[in-house]
Structure 1
């Protein structure tokens, strides 16, 4: 029994450590990271973690593939939880999209599910940008600063909670989970 307790405690500690690393990167490096991402996307058309290893030419980023993954995952989670996600109807695989604006530049996140999940930053088409700026589709456009502020607030909130409460809050998406509620 103690071995199981140790594994659970170890798992929870590792989860909290990785979550804190992700939040620290976004809070302290998020603005410079999105500037570099937008620059690369404007030059390349898209950017994902594999481009760091296999891209020709290699992207000029001051951060790692893991940190790029932090941005992709966290931004998509934020979009999903705050405005929802449109889908690309022409894609044969299950997918979802997110749009972020920073300094009048729009970057799209494209996430596809098949035999795994792959996601990447993409430069949206001119038609998509027009829809985001001039139609009700604009509800999906998120200000990058709102994402950073949310991450900062979540970090402050997690400092007030115990480690297990923070993890439970993260797992449940902020919803209170009660026993025997009717």
Structure 2
């Protein structure tokens, strides 16, 4: 049997590189990407990574499926951590929703869990837009510019703190455990 070496430094460097790529894309190209996402969703009704490969017609995007994935994942994480997520009661699978507003356009993210996780952007129904704009359901509406600013702040934070500490905080859920702590 062959011996496989596991180098934690390689894993940490790979994590750091992907996290930096994700933040750089969101910070520098996020607004442009959101404009393109909204345009495609308004034309198609929805947009996910598979549409880039298999969509008919193909989406006209200036970014890759990986970068679309960065947007989906990061925006859903932001919504989950800042306002929580409603669910679609009519969906048979476990799911959660997120809503973002950008330049008077509202976009919805739908995430479904089954044998895996799939998520996509879609245009919310008129009823949902009404509820987000005129009822307490509006608590779930995130401002896209707030998401960008949050990402910028996280980037600045990560430059101040050593990356190993940041990863440990991510793993420990933000708790710092020191020697002799209770």
What is the aligned partner in structure 1 of residue 100 from structure 2?
A: 100
Q: Under a length normalisation based on structure 2, what TM-score does the superposition of the two structures give?
A: 0.94
Match of 2:131 in 1: 131
Instruction: Please state whether the residue corresponding to 1:119 is helix, strand or coil.
Output: strand
Match runs of 1:167-178 below 5 Å: 167-173=167-173, 175-178=174-177
Which residue matches 1:42? Answer: 42
Number of aligned positions between the proteins: 177
Residue 41 of structure 1 deviates from its aligned partner by 0.3
The list of structure 1 runs, each at least 4 consecutive aligned residues, that deviate by more than 6 angstroms after superposition, is none
CA deviation map 1:62-118 (0-9, x unaligned)? 000000000000000000000000000000000000000000000000000000000
Gaps of 5+ in 1: none
Taking only aligned residues, the RMSD between alpha carbons, in angstroms, comes to 1.1
TM-score scaled to structure 1, two decimals? 0.94
Q: Which runs of 5+ in 2 are unaligned?
A: none
Q: 1:147 to 1:161 in 2, by over 3 A?
A: same
**CA-CA distance at 1:167 after TM superposition:** 1.5
